[in-house]
Chain A
Amino acid sequence: MKHFATILVSSLALMAAPAAAETIAITGGKVVVGDGSAPMDGATVVLRDNRVVAVGTNVTVPANARRIDASGKWVTPGVFAGFSRVGLVEVGAVRATNDANASDSVFSAALDVQYAVNPFAAAVAVNRAAGVTRAVVSPSTGKSIFGGYGAIVDLGADNNPITKARAFQFVELGETGHRRAGGSRTAAHILFRALLEEARTYSRNPALLDSDMLKTSDAKALLPVISGKTRLLVHANSANDILKVLGLRKDFPSLKLVLVGANEGWRVASDIAAAKVPVLASALSDLPYSFEDLSATQSNIGRMKQAGVQVAIGMINDRDAHQLRYSMQYAGNLVALNKVPRATGLSWDEAFAAISSGPAEIMGMGGQLGSLKAGRQGDVVIWTGDPLELSTQVETVFIDGVEQSLSNRQERLRERYRNPAPGALPKAYDR
């Protein structure tokens, strides 16, 4: 991680160096670059000093490299979960272990998940073992429409999970925004505008800040949002809510918007494409769960893609603290749609990109993460077969070029109860 940090701006946290990196050559596998290109058979991936240094079918294996024979296997970039709460929640219903939102806090936009993400959470290890190596981690909202700062994290077995702190600000502008703002969409939009105006006022003259409306810390947190320095991830699902979000650019032209959820995005896909606003979309929502989702369909992502929208998969509010491992299954389902008449899916190559380079690029980190290209961070997974297929298992995971432990408490429980009957001593002694 050290090399990575030195070349990037200071907003990137310096990671604790993981176990000593080595030079590794993964040879003979079917290599998926992750950028939407077709897999390469019999290709080699070389990792050195935490990074990918070479990928291709004509790569010379360095003499000092540890060789891993991946013949018959698939080799891909680690899966990048496009929207999650991993590391913020140990047990969902045990409030003290759930840091996804701060419903009683006086702060909102200033809240920052980097202080809560727990690299030792069971869900980090479980999803790492399933091939997920990076994730967008977002707060939920508490009292306000703004949830606070989210981060990009890795799922490595080391002390520092933060790849990029303060990677974005999160705001609710659909039905949840309506609720948080006091009971209407008008309230949500006036609150949004008023808070941003107040932050501007603060930036011109801190003495003029109306602290009943906005805490100083929250005002400071909104400034990089207004200037477009920090991305604003906006959760909105209905076609109308999406249009209203796109319209925010009239008053705040520099906003770097990213839509999250967007269940009805397909109905206004040309508007989203024209506004050049990328989307982290729920892949398989197809029910009118609420009136903001009336036209939800699994073809949403495929149709947006066809309309020219930059789109990847992000599973907001869908077991997003524990089941990032659904990413592969969801991507596979989008491929399945290609065989359903009148449905619009993704090609296999596009689908894998939607859980690797896609989220990385949308979060502005495509040059560092999400694909197997020279110079990218060494997040690599070796699979027994097609990574989107349900029967496939993970064999080896590298994060930042370091081979990871795949052990986790689910695996330990499984081994303890492989034979459920106690032996000479109680199960508590089986370790």
Chain B
Amino acid sequence: MDLKNLLAVVAAGALATGCAATAAETETASASASSASKSSAKAAFPSTYKSYSYDNTVITGVTIFDGEGQRFDNGVLFMSAGKIVSVGGPETVVPTDSTIIDGTGKYVTPGIIDVHSHLGDYPTPSVAAHSDGNEATSPVTPEVWAEHSVWPQDPGFSRALTNGGITSLQILPGSANLFGGRAVTLKNVPARTVQAMKFPGAPYGMKMACGENPKRVYGNRNRKPATRMGSISLTRQTWINAQEYKKKRKGAKPPKRDIGMETLVGVLDGDILVHNHCYRADELNQIIDMSKEFGYKVTAFHHAVESYKIADILAKEEICSAIWADWWGFKMEAYDAIPENAALLQQAGACVIIHSDDENQIQRLNQEASKALADGRAMGIEITDAQAIQWITYNPAKAMGISDQTGSLKPGKMADVVLWNDNPLSVYARPEKVWIDGALLYDANDPSRRPVSDFELGQPGEGDVK
């Protein structure tokens, strides 16, 4: 962050000092607030992300979906020093010495957030040399971290930004393993290193999996788990081991450091969020009971195509379902998927997240949310456009533990913003401009504001619209 501009904003009284903290300061503050900061692993591979330069920008006359279910027609958004300063209707007072963008006929949303991506760890080109998403050598690998597999030159990051308006995303290990390892949350900003993409202060996630994938991968090798009961037994035993490790660590003779156990204890302590790949309703319920047995919380079930069958239970347990709009039929546990899954969950008061798990659909999460919305309305469930936008902004931010910093257009939050050339729930809409921490990182009208990864430099189609 540019100090001069920061001071200008603070002097204008537009921002509380805490909100205007630099990226580095934010990270320190957040880490020290967390009990996990005591763990030496927490400090490893720290974020070096710094926001890029920004203009103080006002967008006027625009339709705003704020990410938390509110809509402003003929709205005004003011961002300064990389933060949202004000958002509201036409009465909103804004400074005159800013870059003014006429948003008439256009739409503003928070930056889109994907809670489930493999960009970087399963990048394109999708060659074996790049296949770094599954440490499929053991079903229990809480010790691996997705960030150590992420290739920052994956061209998919740029497509997610320019076509999808993605500003933050969680990169997960794959689902071959019961414990897949740590996930990492990134700002969708091109960088030379993964550390320079890491979302400052974001908690870690941990990937878990149930169902067909682990039993297929290991059962085919005649190893445990070859069955669903084998999967649950191995998962429970691992939690018992983690509980013992936790207990010993507090004792007089702490055990030798075990980075897998550190991750599991992080979950038991509530510092690391569980993202559990699981499809079938009956299995979701098994996982819920297992989490209660060991005293941890599942933050989100991913790919939960059968969530609609237990929407009431998921609402009561306050577990998000991170789901596709309409994928189905590709494997047995996806056979009962229905396009009204999201709407039925919303109706039951459960948390809905539309995710991609895909380098193509991450470019169209807005369209996926729109389809899920339309299918809900068609069966008579009333959902507003603004609520559907929440499925791809605030709700994923919450499940990633970053909703205090981003995911909605609230004063003091990061200025992660998309200006769309049409209603983002329309198939005809595309991002026109994307800001991350107030920095304009994509502008459809300016070819120099289109990132091109090293891989694509000097190749046919370099810098093309894609």
Contact surface of A with B, Cβ cutoff 8 Å: 89-94, 122-123, 126, 239, 264, 267, 284-291, 293-299, 319, 321-323, 325, 329, 332-333, 335-337, 339-343, 388-393, 410-411, 413-414, 417-418, 420-421, 427
Question: Assuming A93-B332, A297-B466, is B124 touching A288 (CB within 8 A)?
Answer: yes
User: Is the beta-carbon distance between B124 and A417 smaller than 8 angstroms?
Assistant: no
Chain A residues positioned under 8 Å from B159 (CB to CB): 286-287
Q: List B contacts of A411 (CB < 8 A).
A: 338
- Contact assessment for B464 and A299 in the assembled complex, using a CB-CB cutoff below 8 Å: yes
Residues of A within 8 A of B135 (CB): none
A-B CB contact pairs (8 Å), 29 listed = A91-B329, A91-B335, A94-B332, A284-B360, A284-B363, A286-B466, A294-B461, A295-B460, A297-B461, A297-B464, A299-B464, A319-B327, A322-B330, A332-B427, A333-B427, A335-B428, A336-B422, A336-B427, A336-B429, A336-B430, A340-B421, A342-B464, A388-B427, A391-B370, A391-B425, A410-B337, A414-B340, A417-B308, A420-B310
How many whole Å from A277's CB to the nearest CB in chain B? Answer: 21
What distance in Å separates the Cβ of B125 from its nearest Cβ neighbour in chain A? 5
CB of B163 within 8 A of CB of A286, answer yes
Instruction: Please name all residues of chain A whose beta carbon is closer than 8 Å to the beta carbon of B379 when the two chains form the complex.
Output: 414, 418
Q: Give Cα A335–Cα B422 distance, bound, in whole angstroms.
A: 13
* Bound Cα distance A298, B163 (Å): 10
**Chain B 336-369: CB-based contact to A (< 8 A → 1; otherwise 0):** 1111100010001000000000011001100100
With A333-B427, A339-B430: A296-B461 Cβ-Cβ less than 8 Å: yes
Determine the chain B residues whose CB is within 8 A of the CB of A299 once the complex forms: 464-465
Q: Which residue of A lies closest to B462 (CB)?
A: A295
| Interface of chain B, main secondary structure | loop
**Are A289 and B126 in contact, with the CB atoms below 8 A?**
yes
Q: Does B447 contact A (CB under 8 A)?
A: yes
Besides A333-B364, A336-B427, A420-B348, 19 more A-B contacts (Cβ < 8 Å) are A93-B212, A123-B329, A284-B363, A286-B163, A288-B124, A288-B125, A290-B124, A290-B125, A298-B163, A322-B328, A325-B326, A336-B430, A342-B465, A391-B377, A393-B374, A410-B337, A411-B338, A420-B309, A420-B313
Asked if residues A389 and B427 are in contact (CB atoms below 8 Å), the reply is yes
Checking A94, A295, A325, A342 against B459 with a beta-carbon cut-off of 8 angstroms, the contacting residue is A295
Is B312 part of the contact surface with A, judged by Cβ < 8 Å?
A: yes
Which residue on chain B has the smallest CB distance to residue A291?
B125
Q: Report the minimal beta-carbon distance from B63 to chain A, rounded to whole angstroms.
A: 16
Contact assessment for B328 and A410 in the assembled complex, using a CB-CB cutoff below 8 Å: yes
Instruction: For chain B, give the interface size range.
Output: 35 or more
Closest to A413 in B: B338
Count of A-B contacts judged by CB separation below 8 Å: 163
Q: A91-B331, A410-B338 are in contact. Are A239 and B460 (CB under 8 A)?
A: yes
Complex: how many Å from CA A420 to CA B434?
40
Residues B426 and A339 in contact, CB atoms below 8 Å apart? no
- Shortest CB distance B212–A (Å): 8
* Interchain CA distance A123-B360 in the complex, whole Å: 22
Q: Give the complex CA separation of A293 and B125 in angstroms.
A: 9
Chain B positions 141-173 with a Cβ under 8 Å from a chain A Cβ: 155-156, 159, 163
Residues of A close to B378: CB separation below 8 A: 393
A336 to B425, CA, bound (A): 12
Report if A329-B331 is in contact (Cβ < 8 Å); known contacts: A390-B425, A391-B374, A421-B312: no
Which of chain B's residues has its CB closest to A326's CB? B326
Residues of A within 8 A of B312 (CB): 420-421
State whether B127 touches A290 (Cβ < 8 A): yes
Pairwise interchain contact B430-A322, C-beta atoms closer than 8 A: no
B331 closest partner in A (C-beta): A93
A340 to B344, Cβ gap below 8 A?
no
Nearest CB of B to A210, in Å = 35
* A90 and B371 alpha carbons, distance in the complex (Å): 23
